Amino acid sequence: MIAFAAALFFLIITPGPGVLTTAGVGSGFGYRAGLRFLAGLFISTNLVALAVVTGVAAALFSVPYLRSILLYASAAYLFYLALKIAFSGSKIAFIGSDVAPGFLIGLAFQAINPKAYAVNTTLFSGFPFWPDSILVETALKFLIMNVVWVPVHLAWLFAGVYLHRLDLPDRTLFIINLLMATSMLIVVGLAAWSQF
């Protein structure tokens, strides 16, 4: 169980589309908007995990053309987000919009996030710790996942809000944007690669 929790923590805390977008919403729109987005993201995260556990995701991804369409569409959208981060100039503006992404955007976000499927597949198919009952183990994994997920994402939201409040030099902000965009592209690329 400890190995599962440790793996979960490191897989969730690494910069990926979900946490970077959470930080971006916090930076651009503050706590309230960030919490609305996070509520949708939280439900979506659990729905993706449920789709992986029940085999629905595997059934969908077993259809070659559907898998390719979903993979390319999600990769294109996440690549677009990475470019917006990289080219937002000298401001921490992960998402260039006048309207804050809300609950529904958060809800839809994980469905197109290849990292979400890769992470859930790794976590729920590996790290066995309750050999007597797969049902008990799965329920405990969901519980542990949510206990870790919530504070990690709240920390990223806080980081985004805090970065916005800092009066950093333009060059520093530009470097932060490039590092976050590069991190997102690497994680998305690895997650997409692991699906093949």
Please tell me the predicted confidence (pLDDT) of residue 191.
57
**pLDDT at residue 192, rounded to an integer:** 60
pLDDT of residue 90: 47
List of the chain residues with pLDDT < 70: 71, 85-99, 184, 187-196
Check residue 133 and give its pLDDT.
93
Residue 136 has a pLDDT of: 95
pLDDT on residue 135: 93
Place of tokens 């599962």: 4
Which long-range CB contacts under 8 A does 125-133 form with residues at least 24 apart? 126/7, 127/3, 127/4, 127/7, 129/1, 129/3, 129/4, 130/1
Q: What is the pLDDT of residue 42?
A: 96
